[in-house]
Amino acid sequence: MSKPMTGAKMVVQALIDQGVDVVFGYPGGAVLPIYDEIFQQNHIQHILVRHEQAAVHAAEGYARSTGKPGVALVTSGPGATNAVTGLTDALMDSIPIIVLTGQVPTFMIGSDAFQEADTVGITRPCTKHNWLVKETDDLARVLHEAFHVATSGRPGPVLIDIPKDVQFATGKYTEKKARKSYYQPQVKGDITSITELAAAMEKAKRPIFYTGGGVINSGAAASQLLRELVAATNFPITSTLMGLGAYPASGDNWLGMLGMHGLYEANMAMHGCDLMINIGARFDDRITGTLDKFSPNSKKAHIDIDVSSINKVVHVDIPIVGDVAHVLEDLLKVWKSGGRKTNAEGVSKWWDQINLWRKVDCLKFEQTGKVIKPQYALQRLEALTKGHDRYITTEVGQHQMWAAQYLGFEDPNRWMTSGGLGTMGYGFPASVGVQMAHRDALVINVAGEASWLMNMQEMGTVTQYKLPVKQFILNNERLGMVRQWQQLLHGERYSSSWSESLPDFVKLAEAFGAKGIRCDDPADLDDAIMEMINHDGPVVFDCLVEKHENCYPMIPSGKPHNEMLMGDASTEGAITGSGQALV
């Protein structure tokens, strides 16, 4: 069962045994033995990023677009601390990644050695679990356990800290399935509760499915089952930012995204429903608005694999702890075997109401004049890339919300965005990870110029590995979302929210050996986007857009779903009192 090898070789062997084909990393003193082993093999490709944060986001992008865990490898000290943002991001969005960090040799731990940091201490609150391996004999077991923990139950980031002497020493390699882990989260839901939900679905007059990232994380089967469930019931469905693509945007029952910048019909339906079926979402504050007025007259069911998500912020009537795919399979069985039927008359009236809300057409805008509206840029991007094998990543801010509103996702794992942590600088390195997983796909990072600059060093990575990622930058020369909040909340005092001394993005792209395209005229936009799509290589697309466009609809802080702001005219004094303190 076991064979002797060095710790460094064990790392590579374990990655191979776990089916890893690509590792994102950055070398340094404390991981040199592992890099030496990587050099001497051809199973795993190493992608040299230009900053450790990018390695972790790339691993996240890989994981989210494939459903497989992503792997990052960084050195001790600053390598590990640079990984912290990515780890926290993955924890908030439940993304399975494995981060390997080097550590100073065991006999130097605690001596404030060069590039020493208490990595397991620093990362304990931002990982699902982490390990410091002090014996080479334990290393292989921990590596396999790490993959199990990262991908089981509610997925999340794990970290293994490996001192350099442990990498050099020889020990026994343990095979992948040598020991069953004691960590075995429950995946099957309680059938009594599932039956109770089915009964509630029969009675409901104003039902809604509210789905989240848990559906995506549960795998392709979960999305398929969700579609069957929607088809079987004809209930309307909305989704969080994290869950886009689980149900196709072209589907008849799709209401669009809900939440702070969600669609009018989705939020109004959430507010007015009598049965809310939460599938793999977590009642995040971006979704609920003020809690005491959140969907006041509904019975609430909540399917979640994490017990701690149930009743955390919103009291639910039918809690079901389990994996989405398992629960939906059972729910469909219960639904179909009992010959159950919905309250067709009630649901039909509900649809009439929803269709009236839809007529408000909350995303309408007018592209007039010579300045590109950001919404128009995304609308054209959507139209011109629709037929492609397309993956979208984003940075964080207005452009992210517009992308969620104006781009349509037909399948899961096509949309990679930093939801929980809201990490500016996520999208570019994530697009690197996505492109590595899907070499022939069209990978576009919808960015704002400010977010994009946070990890722009990855231009080096994409040109080195000839990754044809498209950086679609909506350049308003502003920190748009910050500026919008300052306009609404802080008397239009725009404190530090515009970008001065921006680079010439075209020249910047060219300086790295990539292609740069600038577009500032709506009339040229289609041609420019086509030029971007057709270019076989990385592109930085500098799309100069309207500088003061605000992102609507918007649920202002401290307000419920049915008090959305629909446009600039309605914003005067919209956020007052306790709402001002909220983020």
Partner 1 sequence: MSPLKIKKGASSHSAYNLRSGFSDIIERHTLAVIVENEPGVLARVIGLFAGRGYNIESLTVAEVDHEGHRSRITIVTTGTPQVIEQIKAQLGRIVPVHEVHDLTVEGPSVERELALFKVAGKGDARIEAVRLADIFRANVVDSTLESFVFEVTGTSEKIDAFAELMRPLGLVEVVRTGVAALSRGQA
Q: How far is the C-alpha of 207 from the C-alpha of 230, rounded, in Å?
A: 11
Set 114, 359, 507, 510: catalytic member:
114
Q: How far is the C-alpha of 577 from the C-alpha of 558, rounded, in Å?
A: 9
Min CB(317)–partner 1 separation in Å:
12
Is position 481 annotated as part of the catalytic site? yes
Q: Where are the alpha helices (DSSP H) in 396-476?
A: 398-406, 427-437, 449-454, 459-464
Q: How far is the C-alpha of 164 from the C-alpha of 162, rounded, in Å?
A: 6
Q: Judge contact between 204 and 346, C-beta under 8 A.
A: yes
The nearer residue to partner 1, 339 or 577, going by C-beta atoms, is 577
Q: Judge contact between 165 and 4, C-beta under 8 A.
A: no
Site for partner 1 in 302-331 (CB under 8 A): 306-308, 310-315
Is position 52 annotated as part of the catalytic site? yes
Min CB(121)–partner 1 separation in Å:
7
Min CB(202)–partner 1 separation in Å:
26
How is 514-552 classified by DSSP, letter by letter? -EEEEE--GGGHHHHHHHHHH-SS-EEEEEEB-TT----
Tally Cβ neighbours within 10 Å of residue 290. Answer: 18
Site for partner 1 in 267-296 (CB under 8 A): 285, 288-292
Q: Is 48 in the site for partner 1 (CB under 8 A)?
A: no
The nearer residue to partner 1, 310 or 474, going by C-beta atoms, is 310
Min CB(308)–partner 1 separation in Å:
4
The nearer residue to partner 1, 81 or 499, going by C-beta atoms, is 81
DSSP state of 214: H
Phi, psi (degrees; rounded to nearest 5) at 387: -75, -5
What 3-state DSSP class applies to 139?
helix
Site for partner 1 in 173-212 (CB under 8 A): 182-183
- Report how many helices (DSSP H) and strands (DSSP E) the chain contains, helices first: 23, 20
Q: How far is the C-alpha of 289 from the C-alpha of 295, rounded, in Å?
A: 10
Q: Is 128 in the site for partner 1 (CB under 8 A)?
A: yes
The nearer residue to partner 1, 62 or 294, going by C-beta atoms, is 294
Site for partner 1 in 66-125 (CB under 8 A): 120-121, 124-125
Min CB(193)–partner 1 separation in Å:
16
Q: Is 500 in the site for partner 1 (CB under 8 A)?
A: no
* Site track for partner 1 across 135-174, x = CB under 8 A: --------------x---xx--------------------
Instruction: Find all residues with CB under 8 Å of 429, minimum gap 6, and list them.
Output: 49, 53, 54, 55, 56, 57, 58, 61, 455, 458, 461
Is position 293 annotated as part of the catalytic site? no
Set 10, 37, 92, 164: catalytic member:
164
- Residue 2: both structure tokens together: 């076991």
Is position 24 annotated as part of the catalytic site? no
Which residues participate in catalysis according to the annotation? Answer: 52, 114-115, 164, 481
Binding site for partner 1 (CB under 8 A): 120-121, 124-125, 128-130, 132, 149, 153-154, 182-183, 285, 288-292, 306-308, 310-315, 557-558, 577-578, 580-583
